[in-house]
Structure 1
Amino acid sequence: MQENIEQSARERVECKSGRRLNIFKLRLCFQKDCFSRWKQETIASHRIPREDDELPESDKRIVDQDVVIPAGFLIDIPNISQHIFPYLLTPERNLCIGNHANDIPEGEHRKRKLLILFIVHSRADNFEHRKVIRETWGTIGNRFTELIFLLGNPGNSTLQKVIATEHSIHADILQEDFAEVYRNITLKNVMGLKWASRECFNAKYIVKSDDDVYINSKLLISSLIRTETPRKNLILCKIHFFKNVPREGKYAIPKSIYSPDFWPSFCFGGCWIMSTDVVAKLYQMSLQTRQIYLDDVYVTGILRTKLSIPIRYLPRAYRLFCHAKGNSTMVRQMWNDFRDERKRQMVQGEEDAHIKLWSYCFT
């Protein structure tokens, strides 16, 4: 009797968490078997969706119904958005080719078998954020992954010297000579696309993140390394459907720039996963497409739509990443909680090591 009561309580907690995290379904989960049905209707969470995977019919209708993009963004205008900012700092030369393929004789070009390049948007003065990532999720799978941080020019010589010192130690900063201000965030995104497509084309996947995001890199690596995971034409993320174009506040876009009231479907900017071929296509398309300063909308919404690249929904995204909303301490806490939860899971034989993370996730 006591076991049944405890099991029922656990299912109610899972049900409520499932309802909260699966936002766009907006289901009310009151029945005992709600969470079980929800799990059956979503794609298995420990692998990346394949091409033959399908969303539930209700979600498929949402994906298929997209919005019209203004003609001014769909017209190709050569060199309208040239990205010709000089580099101030670049990662070490052999970051992506490396010397990890030790079976290749010395003197010959050693092309590294790189699975993931993590490109992390970081504000110039966010030293602690970068330190936390280097000490937590950025340390996992170094043989198969690399990590770089994208910065603009802070316009402060003293701060720039500190950044240069940081880079001399870690050699993982990519910095161009454009002002480090929020309105230039699209330039930062395009910088990452440019460098990844030119200097790290042997990576199979590019994962874009922000410096206040915790990534379950171990689970991500194990998911992407599977042979059934698509290697081409892949954009995978938590999708924003039918988001209103803001006319007021921090993210305001006037009608004179973008007249429709809704954005095309686009990725949550905190974390998205792309195959490297897509990154190269997006960069080339950015050079002939008018820019807006909202980088997630611009890259994964407008550019993606122009290229007719499908966007794939990442179910139960909280398993792969959590947004700490500017709090680097919380990123470290997520890392510690996950490790502690994994240890408890191994001892008690429980299925899910993410319960503690649910209260932190803002995906």
Structure 2
Amino acid sequence: MRGKSAKYILKVDDDMWLNFDVLLRILKTGAIRFSLGGKCNYGQYPFRDPKNKYYVSYSDYPMSIYPPFCSGTAYVADSDVIKQILTISPNIPFFRLEDIYIALCLRKLRYEITNIPGFHSTKIYPLACLYKSPMVITSHGVSASELRNIYQASCDKDGSMYVPKNPQQLPERMILEQRWPKGKLARKSFKYEQQLLKHNLF
């Protein structure tokens, strides 16, 4: 639904994979009515090292812990929540990290956030049928060519023929990195390589 009739609003970066069908099924359950959801973080400390990309000074944020927030790579919210954020935003001091700023607004409104399984703020290994399975709603840092190949891949709707029942069964670095693993990890994961090479379209 679009325009004024939209029930939900999605914010997503341009280098993200989005499994829209799975997200739509979750939204239809009403799981995030009057909430904002995604890959959410609790008890996160601000980065105080000036060399860090996400550095925040004590003058900008004197508190030791951020309020609960959902990663700015992708999150979805009830449209009523967004409207209320817009209403109070003139009274919330500017903060350069957008996902933290949204969290500050939510704290003022006393709204909770909802962690949605399948939202990933890091890059899941780009196996096309894994991306099309219910286990992955979003993945960060996906290139245009990878997105194209994922969309064009032919897979079962649940990806069950092509991927393990749990993506954590894949070696950790294969999930988080785009490159093939090296050294000892590559030898240990040889059997997974055969599976990936057979079905991966990259």
TM-score of the superposed pair, with normalisation by structure 2:
0.66
The question of whether the paired residues in 2 share the 8 Å contact of 1:201 and 1:276 is answered with: no
Count of aligned residue pairs for this structure pair:
157
1:120-177: CA deviations, max 9, x gaps? xxxxxxxxxxxxxxxxxxxxxxxxxxxxxxxxxxxxxxxxxxxxxxxxxxxxxxxxxx
Amino acid at match of 2:46: V
2:128 aligned with 1:309, yes or no? Answer: no
- Assess if the C-alpha contact under 8 Å between 2:38 and 2:71 holds in 1: yes
For 1:343 and 1:221, the matched residues in 2 are separated by 14
Deviation at 1:309, TM superposition (A): 0.4
Secondary structure of the 2:81 match is helix
1:236 to 2:50 alignment: no
1:342 aligns with 2:145: no
1:344: Cα distance to partner? 9.6
| Alpha-carbon separation, structure 2, partners of 1:349 and 1:240 | 30
Larger radius of gyration, structure 1 or 2? Answer: 1
Is 1:320 equivalent to 2:123 in the alignment? no
Distance 1:313 1:207, change over 3 A: same
CA distance in 2, matches of 1:312, 1:298: 17
Q: Distance in 2 between matches of 1:261 and 1:203?
A: 37
RMSD of aligned Cα (Å)? 3.1
Any stretches of 5+ residues in structure 1 without a counterpart? 1-113, 118-199
Q: For 1:224, which of 12, 27, 34 is the aligned residue?
A: 27
CA deviations 1:176-196 (Å, max 9, x no partner) are xxxxxxxxxxxxxxxxxxxxx
C-alpha deviations, 1:177-219, integer Å up to 9, x for none?
Answer: xxxxxxxxxxxxxxxxxxxxxxx23101111100000000111
Shift of residue 360 of structure 1?
A: 5.3
Residues 237 and 312 in structure 1, CA contact (< 8 A), matched pair in contact too: yes
Relative to structure 1, is the Cα distance of residues 241 and 361 closer, same or farther in structure 2, using a 3 angstrom cutoff? same
- Aligned partner letter, 2:110: S
Structure 2 residue runs without a partner (length 5+) = 121-135, 178-202
Asked if structure 1 preserves the Cα contact closer than 8 Å seen for 2:32 and 2:114, the reply is: no
Q: Secondary structure at the match of 1:270?
A: strand
TM-superposed CA distance for 1:232, in Å, is: 3.5
Letter aligned with residue 146 of structure 2: M
How many angstroms apart in 2 are the aligned matches of 1:297 and 1:221? 25
Q: Structure 1 residue 233: deviation in Å?
A: 0.7
Flag the 1:257–1:353 CA change in 2: closer, same or farther, 3 A: closer
Instruction: Identify if the C-alpha distance between structure 1 residues 312 and 341 changes in structure 2 by more than 3 Å, giving closer, same or farther.
Output: same
Matching residue within 268, 277, 280 for 2:83:
280
> In structure 2, what residue type is equivalent to 1:221?
L
1:204 equivalent in structure 2: 7
Q: Does the 8 Å CA contact 2:118/2:138 hold for their aligned counterparts?
A: no
Mapped to 1, the partners of 2:117 and 2:70 lie a distance apart of: 13
* Residue equivalent to 1:250: 53
User: CA deviation digits over 1:33-80, x for unaligned, max 9?
Assistant: xxxxxxxxxxxxxxxxxxxxxxxxxxxxxxxxxxxxxxxxxxxxxxxx
Q: Quote how far apart the aligned CAs of 1:284 are.
A: 1.1
Does the residue aligned with 2:61 lie in a helix, a strand or coil? coil
The TM-score normalised by the length of structure 1 is 0.38
Q: Residues 320 and 280 of structure 1: is their aligned pair in 2 closer, same or farther, counting only changes over 3 Å?
A: same
Shift in Å, 1:222: 2.6
Could you say which residue in structure 1 is the equivalent of 2:183?
A: none
Instruction: Write the letter of the residue equivalent to 1:262.
Output: I
Secondary structure of 1:296's partner?
Answer: helix
